[in-house]
Amino acid sequence: MNLGYRITAKELLAPGIFRLMVEAPRVAAKAQPGHFVIIRTQEGGERVPLTIVSAQDGQVELIIQVMGKTTAELATYQVGQEITTLLGPLGVAPQAPAGPGIMLCVAGGVGAAPILPRAIDLHQKGWQIWTILGARNADLLILEERLAAISDRMWICTDDGSKGHKGFVTDLIPEAAQAGIIREVLAIGPTPMMAAVCKVTKALQLPTTVSLNALMIDGTGMCGACRVQVGSETKFTCIDGPEFDGHLVDFAGLSQRLRQYLTEEKQAHQKFAEEGGNCQCGIE
């Protein structure tokens, strides 16, 4: 029996970022906003966690950024080819807080992918969705139209000013806070971006949830690679998250753990971001 997961659609969203629809009926039947899957392109291959952007008609939607060997290999796959392993749904599907109210969704780079299903769910439950969407440049903005469709207000920013505000997503949070009474903030993107957002929202006394992108191996809490300090507790991103109270996350410890597994090139990139450079491209 063929146990592969067939790709039914493929779309290039931006340079190095593409969208796949994959047949996975049992996963799709159980998936909820906030869940993720772990994939392998071949037996014994690297395990890569990916957000379930949507699930319908027995298929799951995945958005992938080319960052390493496995994602580069996956970028070459075409419609009709199969992914060897697709494990899920994994993680804790967060319960939408009682509305109505304003939820400020702050997405950096490929963080737009996990923020979209959460924003849609909140919108359907009566929340006003205000969205700040950022990327290095206009070419790397993804899911803008889909986010705009469920957003009551939306801000765009790019590092180089090629679209919207020139600067960082954090520049726009005080403006949004002055425009209305924000009840909560949901921030998803590269680790340095989420840390910077939490610094701003803590000063503004805005409760903030983040979705962490810790490294994972098995996705079931056995390996411990994805552990993170949240307040006084050690949590596993795969089984306790991926969403946590951003004001309690030890971002310094998380960044240090991520660096242990990075290539020299990616280490330089992360160091640049942590020293004040803007990092919204999704390289962790």
Give pLDDT, residue 42.
Answer: 86
| β-strands 17-23, 36-40 pairing | unpaired
> Each residue of 206-225: pLDDT tens digit?
999 999 987 777 777 787 78
Question: In the chain, count of helices (H) and strands (E)?
Answer: 9, 17
Q: Return the CATH fold of 5-90.
A: Elongation Factor Tu (Ef-tu); domain 3 (2.40.30)
As a CATH number, domain 102-274 is 3.40.50.80
> Each residue of 36-93: pLDDT tens digit?
999 999 888 888 999 999 999 999 999 999 988 889 999 999 999 999 999 999 999 9
Give pLDDT, residue 83.
Answer: 95
CB contact at 8 A, 137 and 112: no
CATH 3.40.50.80 domain extents, the chain: 102-274
Give pLDDT, residue 269.
Answer: 45
Give pLDDT, residue 204.
Answer: 97
Instruction: Report the alpha-carbon distance of residue 26 to residue 89 in Å, rounded.
Output: 9
Give pLDDT, residue 96.
Answer: 80
Residue 249 DSSP label:
B
Give pLDDT, residue 124.
Answer: 94
Give pLDDT, residue 17.
Answer: 96
Give pLDDT, residue 261.
Answer: 62
Give the residue among 190, 187, 179, 144 at the shortest CA–CA distance from 163: 144
Residue 179 CA, distance from chain mean position: 26
Task: Extract the residue ranges of the chain whose pLDDT is less than 70.
Answer: 1-3, 260-284
Give pLDDT, residue 3.
Answer: 64
Residue 54 corresponds to which tokens in the numbers above?
């949507």
Residue 68 DSSP label:
S
pTM to 2 decimal places: 0.88
Instruction: Report the alpha-carbon distance of residue 149 to residue 152 in Å, rounded.
Output: 8
CATH 2.40.30.10 domain extents, the chain: 5-90
Residue 106 corresponds to which tokens in the numbers above?
């702050």
**Three-class SS of residue 144?**
helix
Burial of 188 (0-12, 13-18, 19+ CB in 10 A): buried
